[in-house]
Structure 1
Amino acid sequence: MKRLLSIELQKIWKNRASKVLTITYFVLLSLLSLIASIKFDIGIFKFHLAEMGIFNFPYIWHFNTFIAAFLKIFLAVIIVSMMANEYSYGTLKQNLIDGMSKKELILSKFLTIILFAGISTVFVFVMSLLLGYSFSSYTEIGIVFSDLEYLLAYFVKLVGFFSFCLFLGVLIKRSAFALGALILWFMVEMISYAFAINNLKNTELVNKIYDFFPLMSMWNLIKEPFTRMSSVKNLQQAIGENSIKNYDVHWYSIVIVLMWISIFIFLSHYIIKKRDL
């Protein structure tokens, strides 16, 4: 496994575009800390995000993983290109000639996905820990390390999304078209979801069905954190809205995404196995 991972990392690091995207991704993750510096003072109106509790433990685990997940598109481009470049540069055929099996080929890609997701998760963990201890009003150990399931959900979400990107890269063979297919599928899910909600008039049933769709299932792993903020809840109560929303990470949501990961990796291997390279 170490050998397979080493081969993939060398390919990525020797590719200038992949190197730039990787560095950009982690730089942007670091810039999440700048959210703490957002401050507006307009007369009696004062707006300071850090003072609104977004970096309080354990809420910070929810907030940071939700925001950081939007940046996964940078690594998605690398994952898609990683597969597309195999066809463009002929390295796929060369690896097979050199003795690598088709199973090992897909395994090497999947190990790279796991590594990227793992490093990203650790990075978000460390950054959140530093921000939390800098701004949180609660620093008791029991509070600090509660709600860490959001990090697990973040990791699974990245692995799921990158596995989908790998599958598209294997299926389509051209990075630009594969990314286009990803965007198209996103639009299909969103438009069909809106259409179903509008026409079926049964939001609960539609949500249960769409919980099993690839991108929607990944989105459901980490619910939006904004309406969980105390300031938002106080505002809702002031205007008479007392909505009850479950923000927990559910085990069945993780199982659904794990199911999709298995399907995407299996299909990627099946296509490579059957395709004439």
Structure 2
Amino acid sequence: MRRLLSIEFIKLWNSRSSRFLIIAYFVLLTFIALIAAIKFDIGPIEFHLAEQGIFNFPFIWHFNTYIAAVFKLFLAIVIVSMMANEYSNKTLKQNLIDGLSKKEFVMSKFLTVVMFSGISTVFIFVVSLVLGLIYSDFTEVGIIFSQLGYLLAYFLKLTAFFSFCLFLGMLVKRSAFALGFLVLWNILEGIVYAFLKFKVFDNSTIADSIAQFFPLNAMSNLIKEPFTRLGAVKSVAAQIGEEFTKNYAVQWYDVLIVTVWIFVFVYGTLFILRKRDL
């Protein structure tokens, strides 16, 4: 395992663009802390975002993992380029000639994906813990370490998304086309969902039940939007007669669906490599 990771680390570190994107990704994650500094005045009212409870334990685990997941595209570019460069630089063929099996080759890529996801999760844990200890109104140990399931969901979400990028990189062999296919797939899921909701079924419940198995939608369902949990948002909604009844918890079936997709993407990548004439 260490040998496989070291091979990938050397390849990534020797790529200037990969180094830049990886560093930029983690720098952007730290920018979550800057949210605490956002202040603006609405007439006589001074609005300080950090005072709205976004950094309160345990809500901070939900909020920060949701926001941090937005930046995953930076590492997605690295993952797709990592696979595309294997073809353009002919390192894939050379690795196989040097004795690396096709299974080990794919495993080295997947271990890199897991490593990125793991480091990102630990990074978000540390940033969230520090921000929470500074700004949270609740600092009891039991409250601080409750709802850590969002970190597991974040880890799975990144692993699944990067595994999908790995699969697309192997399938298309060109980073730009692979990223374009990713965008196209996201649009396609939306079109299919709209078709099911408005043309096939009379209500959205059945369409939602089917759409939860779509890969990108399944990843999105792991961490639902946190904004309607905020007290200020609920107060405004109550004034206009609205009420939010959404279940924000990480659901076991969403975890199961995404886990299955991870296996599909990884073994799909291996299947393509075994069938492809190098």
SS of 1:47's equivalent? strand
What one-letter code is carried by the residue in structure 2 that aligns with 1:194?
A
SS of 1:41's equivalent? strand
Within-5 A mapping of 1:1-277: 1-199=1-199, 200-277=201-278
What one-letter code is carried by the residue in structure 2 that aligns with 1:233?
K
Distance 2:207 2:121 in 1: 31
1:238 Cα deviation after fit:
1.8
Identity across matched positions, percent: 62
Change (3 A) 1:195 1:46: farther
CA deviation profile, 1:144-167 (whole Å, cap 9, x unmatched)? 000000000000000000000000
1:13 Cα deviation after fit:
0.7
1:198 Cα deviation after fit:
2.6
- Following TM superposition, the consecutive aligned residue runs of length 4 or more in structure 1 with deviations greater than 3 angstroms are none
Contact 2:121 2:155 in 1 (8 A): yes
- For structure 2, which runs of at least 5 residues remain unmatched after alignment? none
1:26 Cα deviation after fit:
0.3
CA deviation profile, 1:185-207 (whole Å, cap 9, x unmatched)? 01101122233323333111111
SS of 1:248's equivalent? coil
1:231 Cα deviation after fit:
1.1
What one-letter code is carried by the residue in structure 1 that aligns with 2:227?
F
TM-score in terms of structure 1 length: 0.98
TM-score in terms of structure 2 length: 0.98
- For structure 1, which runs of at least 5 residues remain unmatched after alignment? none
Larger deviation, residues 184-193 vs 12-21: 184-193
Distance 1:12 1:36 in 2: 33
CA deviation profile, 1:213-264 (whole Å, cap 9, x unmatched)? 0000000000000001111112212221123110000111001000000001
SS of 1:46's equivalent? strand
What one-letter code is carried by the residue in structure 2 that aligns with 1:256?
I
Number of aligned positions between the proteins: 277
What one-letter code is carried by the residue in structure 2 that aligns with 1:184?
L
1:171 Cα deviation after fit:
0.5
Distance 2:47 2:202 in 1: 39
SS of 2:138's equivalent? coil
Distance 1:14 1:55 in 2: 38
- Cα RMSD, aligned residues only: 0.8
Distance 2:25 2:133 in 1: 24
What one-letter code is carried by the residue in structure 2 that aligns with 1:190?
G
What one-letter code is carried by the residue in structure 2 that aligns with 1:69?
A
What one-letter code is carried by the residue in structure 1 that aligns with 2:100?
M
SS of 1:118's equivalent? helix
SS of 1:40's equivalent? strand
What one-letter code is carried by the residue in structure 1 that aligns with 2:104?
E
SS of 2:222's equivalent? coil
